């Protein structure tokens, strides 16, 4: 095929290479291109460009004749799509040779493979991932602007001490909840980008929770509370869990699901407006994390009959690993009682203790409900919920 290209006064120093590259993309080996142009040194630059690409260039009276060589389509020869051309389509297996290419992009052959441990749709993808990511991205909030930090703090010192004790516990747990999605985000093949984005956003939200809990704790106190050996041991089992599905169950379905009840309790009994608003907003974020895990595990449990057994084993094995640990920090339990009581009056303490017991029942009921939604029967859900760590997360 013969075509023509009029460059007029455009030289390589002003973008002539862009037009030649366009012609190159359209050409097949053996095609000819008649080139005219008046830019200074154009012939010299055309000759260099033709040599570099393996093309033949002949100069004539009115211009140049370029014959495209066999390497014309070399960059695209052997290339493969990173999945279907439609960016919304997801491949069953994301290839290592796709590297960081955008989903649906044409990947040039010969590049170095970049492997990701989680590269199969059957273990990582679920159909509502994009929808959940869009909802999460739209729901972000600003700790500096959205929390009433200047609200009065008029409650007794012992109530503030109790709140700081609980906030110390929350910070530690939210740190584990940050590390788990952050770790898995680096293992998911970017072909499943919405899952990566959800995990990254989840980690960012946990970082925001750590920020607001820490900032609230520092309003009236210069020191945080106690971090216990039992609490650290419980969270370590989350941080070190290597299986994505098992980690989602332990962290989000059970741990963060249990925290939804705790946050509602803390909002109800918050001694000041800033604490109440913090708990409200954090609970909204955590509910999305639970929804993410439930959507992922629910879809995979329906497709894989063996998944529920793996999930049940994860709960049992974690329970056995923590059997000798102390469970919930006793100081945190007492602090929850005091927050619900509002004072050390004996009758108020009795009411506060009853409310904490009621909270524990709500936590158990919530875990059972979510486990049943994942396909466990009522008996299995009750047994597995009872094995959940006493440290809540």
Record: fold of 121-386: Ribonucleotide Reductase, subunit A (1.10.620)
| Cα(174)–Cα(191) distance, integer angstroms | 28
Residue-level pLDDT at 368: 98
- For residues 187 and 116, the answer to whether their CB atoms sit within 8 Å is yes
Cα 37 to chain center, whole Å?
53
Structure tokens at 300: 């995979």
* Beta bridge partners of residue 358, listed in sequence order: none
> Measuring CA to CA, which residue among 177, 197, 180 is closest to residue 282?
177
| Cα(215)–Cα(163) distance, integer angstroms | 12
Residue-level pLDDT at 34: 94
Q: At what angle do helices 157-185 and 193-217 cross, to 10 degrees?
A: 160
- For residues 349 and 341, the answer to whether their CB atoms sit within 8 Å is yes
Structure tokens at 111: 């590049």
Structure tokens at 228: 């216990």
Do the bridges between strand 80-81 and strand 106-107 make them parallel or antiparallel, or are there none, so unpaired? antiparallel
- The pLDDT tens digits of the residues spanning 240-274 come to 999 999 999 999 999 999 999 999 999 999 999 99
| Cα(137)–Cα(201) distance, integer angstroms | 8
Domain ranges of the chain: 2-67, 76-115, 121-386
Residue-level pLDDT at 25: 86
Residue-level pLDDT at 69: 85
> Measuring CA to CA, which residue among 177, 171, 182 is closest to residue 212?
171
Residue-level pLDDT at 136: 97
Pick the CATH number of 2-67 from 1.10.4000.10, 2.40.320.10, 3.40.109.10, 3.30.110.40: 3.30.110.40
Residue-level pLDDT at 87: 66
| Tens place of pLDDT per residue across the chain (393 aa) | 899 999 999 999 999 999 998 988 888 888 999 999 999 999 999 999 989 888 999 998 889 999 988 766 656 667 888 988 676 789 999 999 999 999 999 898 888 889 899 999 999 999 999 999 999 999 999 999 999 999 999 999 999 999 999 999 999 999 999 999 999 999 999 999 999 999 999 999 999 999 999 999 999 999 999 999 999 999 999 999 999 999 999 999 999 999 999 999 999 999 999 999 999 999 999 999 999 999 999 999 999 999 999 999 999 999 999 998 878 899 999 999 999 999 999 999 999 999 999 999 999 999 999 999 999 999 999 999 999 999 999
- The pLDDT tens digits of the residues spanning 4-19 come to 999 999 999 999 999 9
- Per the listing, tokens 């089992």 go with 237
Residue-level pLDDT at 110: 82
């Amino acid at each position: 095929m013969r075509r023509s290209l009029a460059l007029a006064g455009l030289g390589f120093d002003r973008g002539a290479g862009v037009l030649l590259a366009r012609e190159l993309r359209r050409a097949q080996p053996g095609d000819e291109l008649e080139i005219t142009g008046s830019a200074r040194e154009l012939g010299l630059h055309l000759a260099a460009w033709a040599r570099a690409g393996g093309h033949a260039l002949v100069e004539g009276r009115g211009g140049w004749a370029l014959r495209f060589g066999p390497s014309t389509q070399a960059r695209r020869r052997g290339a493969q799509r990173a999945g279907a051309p439609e960016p919304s389509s997801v491949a069953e297996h994301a290839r290592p040779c796709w590297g960081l290419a955008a989903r649906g992009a044409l990947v040039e052959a010969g590049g170095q493979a970049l492997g990701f441990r989680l590269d199969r749709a059957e273990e990582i993808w679920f159909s509502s991932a994009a929808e959940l990511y869009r909802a999460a991205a739209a729901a972000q909030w600003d700790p500096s602007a959205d929390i009433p930090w200047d609200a009065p703090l008029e409650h007794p010192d012992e109530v503030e001490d109790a709140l700081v004790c609980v906030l110390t516990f929350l910070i530690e747990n939210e740190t584990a909840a940050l590390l788990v999605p952050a770790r898995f985000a680096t293992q998911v093949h970017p072909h499943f980008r919405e899952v990566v984005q959800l995990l990254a956003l989840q980690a960012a939200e946990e970082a925001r929770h750590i920020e607001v809990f820490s900032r609230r704790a520092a309003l009236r106190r210069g020191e945080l509370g106690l971090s216990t050996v039992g609490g650290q041991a419980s969270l370590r089992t989350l941080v070190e869990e290597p299986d994505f599905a098992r980690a989602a169950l332990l962290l989000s379905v059970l741990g963060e699901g249990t925290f939804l009840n705790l946050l509602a309790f803390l909002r109800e009994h918050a001694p000041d407006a800033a604490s109440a608003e913090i708990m409200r907003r954090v609970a909204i974020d955590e509910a999305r994390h639970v929804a993410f895990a439930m959507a992922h595990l629910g879809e995979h449990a329906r497709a894989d009959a063996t998944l529920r057994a793996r999930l049940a084993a994860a709960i049992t094995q974690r329970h056995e690993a923590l059997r000798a640990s102390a469970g919930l920090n006793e100081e945190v339990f007492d602090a929850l009682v005091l927050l619900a009581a509002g004072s050390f009056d004996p009758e108020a303490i009795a009411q506060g203790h009853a409310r904490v017991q009621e909270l524990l029942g709500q936590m158990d009921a919530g875990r059972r409900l979510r486990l049943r939604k994942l396909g466990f029967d009522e008996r299995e859900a009750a047994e597995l919920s009872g094995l959940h760590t006493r440290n809540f997360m």
